Structure formats: C-alpha cells, structure tokens
Amino acid sequence: MPKIDILDTKGNVVGNTELSERVFGIEPNEPVVHQVVVAQLANKRQGTKGSKTRSEVRGGGRKPWRQKGTGRARAGSSRSPLWIGGGVIFAPKSRDYSKKVNKKVKNLAMRSVFSAKTADQELRVVDAFDFAAPKTKDMVAALDALNAKNALIVTPEKDATVYLSARNIIKVQATTVSELNVYDMLKYDVLVLTKDALAKIEEVYA
C-alpha cells in the first residue's frame, strides 16, 4: 500500500498516511483515460452553428425568367447558392457532439490518473490551507514551498479562502472533490489535495 507525507503550507512534513491501493496504486489504463478526455471535450462543444440551404431560404418559388430565348443562363430559382440572397452549399447544421461514458469507465479513468500522479511523484497532500484571509501572496508562498507552481488544488467542499487566494495565479486552479475531473488533473503538473479532500476521494472512488 503506497504511503505519502502530509505537509504543512511551509513544506514541512507533519505526518504521513497510507493511500488506498485501489485508488492510488493501480496500473493506469491509458486508453480509458483518453476515451474520457475525448468525451469531456466533446461535451463542451455547443454545436449550435447553422446556415440555410436553398430549400430552406425564404422565397425563390417562382422561376425568375423563361427557360429559353432571353440570352441569359437558365435559372430555376432566385435562391440558388450562385445568387445573392441564395442558400448555402453544404450548409453547416446544428448537431449534438456529446458522448456518453459509463460510470465505471469514468471511475477507472479517475483512479488511473490518481495512480499515475502518485507514481510520478506529482501528488501533494497538505494538512490544511489555514490562511487567516484570502491572500494571493500566501498561496504563492505555499505552492512554492510544496514545489507545485503548476497545480490543481482540491478541497473537500467549496473553500472561499482557497479559491480567492488561487484564482489570480497563472497555471493554478482550485476545485472541489465533486468537480474534479480527468481533463483538469492532466492539465496541471501537480495535484495538491488537502487531508480532508484525500479522505473524501478515497471514500468516493475506492
């Protein structure tokens, strides 16, 4: 069973804890992680683009002029894509890009990333971010001490002090266990968990 040190905001070791083998010690499944990331990015797409084809543009029901004898090219509709005010050839249409992923597959992808972060020593567990008030400077100092300048900070519930302290720092994001996802974990180099967030993650994913 893997073990990890618990640190304070100054980078000092204040204890250690055993990590769940099922969550932090499995063989990462890269194809599943890829599948979940693709689905997550696809689900962000709005798919609301759209233009009208010649059959959908209003008007154009009457033949503009007779077929022969005018000296002009034959025309059947003033809404032809060749005409101003006409339809669009191969017009883009609204569509749903969303992909469904089973809960067990999502769970495996999350556990795979947790395990990969642990194996690559990109996981930090902090006793608590006990700042007196929201201060960006304090968060920068804490992340420097944790060697986590490019980090995703995870708290068990929404923590206004942590969120406000981290929101103006480049390459740093604060989130909660319930909002945690595969894409965000891969986007940042280091995963920083509070001790309470770690307990909740093991409860949810074990």
Q: Which residue ranges in the chain fall short of pLDDT 50?
A: none
Instruction: Provide the residue ranges of all domains of the chain, joining segments of one domain with +.
Output: 1-44+96-203, 49-92
The CATH number for 1-44+96-203, chosen from 3.40.630.10, 1.10.10.10, 3.30.70.1060, 3.40.1370.10, is 3.40.1370.10
The confidence score (pLDDT) of residue 148 equals 92
The confidence score (pLDDT) of residue 186 equals 95
The DSSP code sequence of 177-203 is GGG--HHHHHHSSEEEEEHHHHHHHHH
Q: Are 26 and 115 in contact (CB under 8 A)?
A: yes
The confidence score (pLDDT) of residue 3 equals 85
Give the CA angle between residues 105, 37, 205 to the nearest 5°. Answer: 40
The confidence score (pLDDT) of residue 130 equals 87
The confidence score (pLDDT) of residue 2 equals 79
CA 32 to CA 105: how far, in whole Å?
7
